[in-house]
Amino acid sequence: MADTVNPESFEAIVERAYRTLPQKIRKLRDFPGIQVVDEPPADVLKDISNRRKWRRGTELLGLYSGTFRTKRSYAEVKYAPDLIFVFRGPILRSSKGDLRAEVKRVVWHEVAHWLGYETEEQVKALGL
């Protein structure tokens, strides 16, 4: 589909997906930034591909990088901000038509990880 979507309009789709989150979540002081990146870094793909449950050939659409909100300590020293990455290339390559709905699912999925749903099974149980 979709290599025809320009970066600006893709970022607008991500922004729209962010705005669909409940306001009480968006307004949390520690809400992570959301960054659109063309492709996942090679070292991240290598690390994930070494996991047992990762199916070969699966695209990485998004990633939460940080400490799960439920695992934080008041004494924790932060060296880098929490971020949600949305990977444009993999989403466009795997898109089956409704790009807005697919981006929304990725954003909500990664927000669920930030909120403390650690495993893919936990997030999938939420319907994300």
pLDDT tens, residue by residue, 70-117 = 777 766 666 678 899 999 999 999 988 899 999 999 999 999 999 988
| DSSP at 85 | E
Q: What angle do CA 88, 45, 10 make, to 5 degrees?
A: 5
Distance CA 15, CA 71 (A): 27
Residue length of the chain: 128
pTM: 0.84
Q: Which residue has the higher pLDDT, 127 or 121?
A: 121
Q: What is the pLDDT of residue 99?
A: 94
Distance CA 15, CA 113 (A): 19
Q: Phi then psi for 105, rounded to 5 degrees?
A: -65, -40
Judged by DSSP in three states, 60 sits in coil
What sign results for the dihedral spanned by CA atoms 127, 34, 13, 3?
Answer: negative
Q: What is the pLDDT of residue 78?
A: 65
Question: For 11-43, what is each residue's pLDDT tens digit?
Answer: 999 999 999 999 999 999 889 999 999 999 988
Domains of the chain with CATH codes: 2-125 (3.30.2010.20)
